[in-house]
Structure 1
């Protein structure tokens, strides 16, 4: 099993709770990269019912995860965590492949993939 991203136990528990609330308990978590944002690339997380032919499936903390083979090199080694604060909770994404991030923290680019930057 090829683990592309690391998902902390706190993030996995929160994702499982979201799956339960959305009646998606049997779904897989799809972690993806798409064009957009100030720096050119942005992260996407959603629920998938099927594993596509070009997906790399793996499991962490009882959570089934899929990443496309195209996104795998960009996401390799990325850590997804969930943190609670007095302002609420949210996911944090730490990607060692990102060489630039936008000021809002929602987009990035890598040395080999620039994406499609937008005006901020």
Structure 2
């Protein structure tokens, strides 16, 4: 379902350890749609709803998502990048849709 790269897992574990957050999950969610496809978000979460959430264990991390977002996050990959444009966590999903040039004129992607 959701893959976490080794780099992202190591960085997230380090961040959780620095902040002394032991019982926290990484919540991933579909934040909306744009002409470039699905937009994603992430947050640290300490409250999980058994009724509404799906919980996954990946590389020693707890990943939680709303059950309604599960299809939109299918085949998503969470990575941590550190390059000339900055550093941070990113969610990439090759099946999340691409740029719809008919609606954005080709300039948004």
TM-score by length of 2: 0.76
2:3 corresponds in structure 1 to 6
Structure 2 residue runs without a partner (length 5+): 100-107
Contact 2:37 2:96 (C-alpha < 8 Å) held by counterparts: no
2:104 corresponds in structure 1 to none
Please give the residue correspondences for 1:4-83 in structure 2 after superposition, counting only pairs within 5 Å: 4-35=1-32, 39=36, 41-52=38-49, 53-83=51-81
* TM superposition shift of 1:89: 2.4
Higher-Rg member (1/2): 2
Aligned residues: 100
Structure 1 residue runs without a partner (length 5+): 104-120
TM-score by length of 1: 0.70
Root-mean-square deviation (CA, aligned residues, Å) is: 2.2
